[in-house]
Amino acid sequence: MIDYKPSIAIVDYGLGNLFSIKQACLFVGLNAVITHAREEILAADGVILPGVGAYGDAVDTLRRLDLISVLRDIAFSSKPLVGICLGMQLLMTESYEFGRHKGLDIIAGPVNRFENPKDKDRLLKVPQIGWNRIFPAYEGASWQGTPLQEIGEGEYMYFVHSYIVQPQDEEVILSRSRYGHIDFCSGVRRKNVYAFQFHPERSGPAGLKIYLNLRKELEKARENNEYKDGD
Amino acid sequence: MNVRIIPRLDIKGPNLVKGIRFEGLRVLGKPEDFARYYYEHGADEMIYMDVVASLYGRNSLLKIVEKTARDIFIPLTVGGGLRSIDDIRAVLRAGADKVSLNTAAIASPDLIREASRTFGSSTIVVSIEAIHKGDGTYEAYVNYGRDRTAVDVFEWALRAEALGAGELMVYSIDRDGVGDGFDLELTQRIATAVSVPVIAGGGAGRITDVYDAFTCGKAEAVALASILHYNFVRNMRDLDGDYTAEGNIEFLKRGKIPAKIQDASLEDIKAYLSEHGVACRRPSKQAGRLSCGEKEN
Amino acid, single-letter form, for residue B9 = L
- B197 touching A, CB under 8 A? yes
Of A144-158, B85-99, B125-139, the range with the lowest mean pLDDT is B85-99
> What's residue A13's pLDDT?
85
- A56 touching B, CB under 8 A? no
Closest residue in A to B121 (Cα) is A53
How long is chain B?
A: 297
A19·B92 Cβ contact <8 A:
yes
> What's residue A57's pLDDT?
87
Taking 60 as the threshold, does the pLDDT of residue B170 lie above it?
A: yes
B73·A201 Cβ contact <8 A:
yes
pLDDT band at B260 (very low <50, low <70, confident <90, very high): confident
CA atoms of B209 and B70, how far apart (whole Å): 33
* Three-point CA angle A50, B5, B167, nearest 5°: 55
Taking 90 as the threshold, does the pLDDT of residue B201 lie above it?
A: yes
Find residue B98's DSSP bridge partners. Answer: B77
Q: At what angle do helices B59-71 and B85-94 cross, to 10 degrees?
A: 40
A131·B97 Cβ contact <8 A:
no
- Long-range contact set of residues A103-106: C-beta below 8 Å, sequence gap at least 24: A103/A55, A103/A59, A104/A62, A104/A68, A104/A71, A104/A72, A104/A75, A105/A72, A106/A71, A106/A72, A106/A75, A106/A76, A106/A190, A106/A193
Average pLDDT, integer, range A172-177: 98
Average pLDDT, integer, range A109-116: 94
User: What global pTM score does this model have?
Assistant: 0.92
A20·B291 Cβ contact <8 A:
no
Q: In this predicted complex, what is the ipTM?
A: 0.92
B285, containing H or E segment? helix B285-288
> What's residue B247's pLDDT?
52
Q: Domains in chain B and their CATH numbers?
A: 4-288 (3.20.20.70)
Q: What is the mean pLDDT of chain B?
A: 88
> What's residue A131's pLDDT?
98
pLDDT band at B296 (very low <50, low <70, confident <90, very high): very low
Per-residue model confidence as pLDDT tens digits over B241-257? 444 444 555 566 566 77
- B214 touching A, CB under 8 A? no
> What's residue B52's pLDDT?
81
In terms of pLDDT, which residue wins out, B289 or A205? A205
Q: What is the mean pLDDT of chain A?
A: 92
Taking 60 as the threshold, does the pLDDT of residue A162 lie above it?
A: yes
In terms of pLDDT, which residue wins out, B216 or B292? B216
Q: Which of A187, A188, A219 is nearest to A203 (CA)?
A: A187
- A127 touching B, CB under 8 A? yes
> What's residue B233's pLDDT?
86
CA-CA distances (angstroms) from residue B259 to B34, B166, B230? Answer: 22, 36, 11
Q: Are A45 and A222 in contact (CB under 8 A)?
A: yes
Average pLDDT, integer, range B85-92: 90
> What's residue B217's pLDDT?
97
CA atoms of B39 and B105, how far apart (whole Å): 30
Question: How is chain B split among helix, strand and coil, in percent rounded to 5?
Answer: 40, 25, 35
> What's residue B280's pLDDT?
96
3-state secondary structure of B89: helix
Q: φ and ψ at A3, to 5 degrees? A: -90, 5
Average pLDDT, integer, range B61-85: 92
CA atoms of A197 and A163, how far apart (whole Å): 9
Which of the residues B129, B176, B212, B220 is marked catalytic?
B129
Average pLDDT, integer, range B98-119: 94
Q: φ and ψ at B141, to 5 degrees? A: -115, 155
pLDDT band at B291 (very low <50, low <70, confident <90, very high): very low
Which homologous superfamily is A7-230 in? Class I glutamine amidotransferase (GATase) domain (3.40.50.880)
Find residue B240's DSSP bridge partners. Answer: none
Find residue B140's DSSP bridge partners. Answer: B130
Which of the residues A85, A94, A185, A217 is marked catalytic?
A85
With left for phi above 0 and alpha for psi between -120 and 50, is residue A196 left, alpha or beta?
beta
Scan residues 92-121 of B and list those with Cβ closer than 8 Å to A.
Answer: 92-97, 119-121
Scan residues 252-291 of B and list those with Cβ closer than 8 Å to A.
Answer: 280-284, 286-291
Domain ranges (residues) in chain A: 7-230
Per-residue model confidence as pLDDT tens digits over B140-149? 999 988 899 9
Taking 80 as the threshold, does the pLDDT of residue A2 lie above it?
A: no
Burial level of B168, CB count in 10 A (0-12/13-18/19+)?
A: buried
